[in-house]
Structure formats: structure tokens, C-alpha cells
Structure 1
Amino acid sequence: MTSSQTNPYMTRLTRPTHLVLLERHWEEVLLLQKAERRKLNRW
């Protein structure tokens, strides 16, 4: 086993950029959904 496989930080660094951007995009989508639910709950 290589050190990159055992170290999650290294795998994060070596991960393709488009995958990282995708993850950030989905995090934002989930946050927006939570915000929308809060707005609906206020009504």
C-alpha cells in the first residue's frame, strides 16, 4: 500500500480538480435546500 492511499489528506490533494469542484457544488446545493426548507417552515 502506498502512503497516498493510507493518508486521506494526500488523496484529497491528488484528487482531480473537477471532482473537488463537484463536491463543493453539491455541498452548496444541499445548503440551499436547507435554506429553502427554513423559509418554508417560517410561513
Structure 2
Amino acid sequence: HSVPVDVDKLNRDVIEQDYNLWDALESSKWIPCDTLELCY
């Protein structure tokens, strides 16, 4: 038997978690901006 998987939703959840992690790191200033490939 197979369970339907909402891949788009899973991807959005993962991406959102990833952004939340980077936002937390950025706001805490744990890492200097020049070590990041993307600086806002």
C-alpha cells in the first residue's frame, strides 16, 4: 500500500525551517556576513 505524499508541502516546510534557521543565525550575529554566500 502507498500513502499519498504532498511533496510540495514537505518542500515548503523544509525550506521554511531553513530560512528560519538562517534568520535566527543572522539575527544572533553568530556568523560574520562575509562568511555567507548570501548577505541581505
Matched ranges for 1:25-40 at <5 A: 25-39=15-29
**TM-score in terms of structure 2 length:** 0.58
Computed over aligned residues only, the root mean square deviation of the Cα atoms, in angstroms, reads 1.9
The structure 1 segments of at least 4 consecutive aligned residues displaced by more than 6 Å after TM superposition are: none
For structure 1, list consecutive stretches of 5 or more residues without a partner in the other structure: 1-12
**TM-score in terms of structure 1 length:** 0.54
Q: Computing the radius of gyration over CA atoms, which structure comes out larger, 1 or 2?
A: 1
Given residue 24 of structure 1, which amino acid in structure 2 is its aligned partner? V
Cα distance in 2 for residues equivalent to 1:38 and 1:14 = 39
State the 1:15 CA deviation: 3.5
Identity of matched residues, %: 11
Q: Which residue of 2, 9, 16 maps to 1:19?
A: 9
Given residue 20 of structure 1, which amino acid in structure 2 is its aligned partner? L
